Amino acid sequence: MDAMQKVKVEIRNVSLAYGATPVLRDISVSIAPGEFFALLGPSGSGKSTLLRLIAGFNQAQSGTIIIGGEDITRVPPWQRNIGMVFQNYALWPHMTVNGNVAFGLVERRLPREVIREKVAAALELVGLRDYGERRPGQLSGGQQQRVALARTIAIEPKVLLLDEPLSNLDAKLRVHMRTELLALQRKLGITTIFVTHDQEEALSISDRVAVLDGGVIQQIGTPMELYDHPANRFIANFVGTINLLKGKVGPAGTGVAFDSHALGRITLPQTKAAAGDAEIAIRPHALTLLASGDNTDAGQVWVEGTVAEREFLGEFVRYTVRVGDTDLIADQPHYSGHPIHVPGNRVKVGINPAQVRLLTA
Ligand X SMILES: Nc1ncnc2c1ncn2[C@@H]1O[C@H](COP(=O)(O)OP(=O)(O)O)[C@@H](O)[C@H]1O
Q: CA 159, CA 188: separation in Å to the nearest integer?
A: 11
To 10 degrees, the CA torsion angle through 230, 36, 127, 200?
A: 0
Interaction between residue 48 and ligand X (CB under 6 A): yes
Q: Please choose, from the candidates 65, 69, 67, the residue with its C-alpha nearest in 3D space to the C-alpha of residue 191.
A: 67
Tell me, residue by residue from 202 to 231, as one string, x for binding to another protein by CB under 8 A and - for no binding: ------------------------------
Q: Please identify, using beta-carbon distances, which residue of 39 and 226 lies nearer to another protein.
A: 39
User: Please, what's the b/e burial string for 245-274 (b: 16 or more CB within 10 A of its CB; e: otherwise)?
Assistant: bebebeeeeeebbbebebbeebebeeeebe
Q: Counting contacts by CB under 6 A, is residue 18 touching ligand X? A: yes
Which residue is at the shortest CB distance from Mg ion? 48
Q: By C-beta, is 148 or 266 nearer to another protein?
A: 148
Which 90-129 positions form the footprint of ligand X (CB under 6 A)?
none
78 scored as a contact of ligand X (CB under 6 A): no
Q: Which helix (H) or strand (E) holds 31?
A: strand 21-31
When asked if residue 134 is in the footprint of another protein (CB under 8 A), the reply is: no
Nearer Cβ to Mg ion, position 48 or 288?
A: 48
DSSP symbols for 112-124: HHHHHHHHHHHHH
Q: Which stretch binds ligand X (CB under 6 A): 44-52, 111-119, 302-310, 349-357?
A: 44-52
Backbone angles phi, psi at 132, to 5 degrees: -55, -35
Q: Check residue 241 for interaction with another protein (CB under 8 A).
A: no
Applying CB under 8 A, what is the total number of residues that bind another protein?
A: 29
Residue list 10-49, contact with Mg ion (CB under 5 A): 48
Closer of 18 and 312 to another protein (Cβ)? 18
**Amino acid symbol at 199:** Q
Q: CA triplet 146, 147, 152: central angle to 5 degrees? A: 100
Interface with another protein in residues 59-98 (CB under 8 A): 76-84, 86-88, 90, 92-94
Distances (CA, A) of 273 to 139, 151, 169, 269, 359: 58, 52, 46, 11, 10
Q: Which residues bind Mg ion (CB under 5 A)?
A: 48
Q: Which residues bind another protein (CB under 8 A)?
A: 55-57, 76-84, 86-88, 90, 92-94, 103-104, 107-108, 135, 137, 148, 151-152, 155
Q: Which residues bind ligand X (CB under 6 A)?
A: 18, 23, 41, 43-49
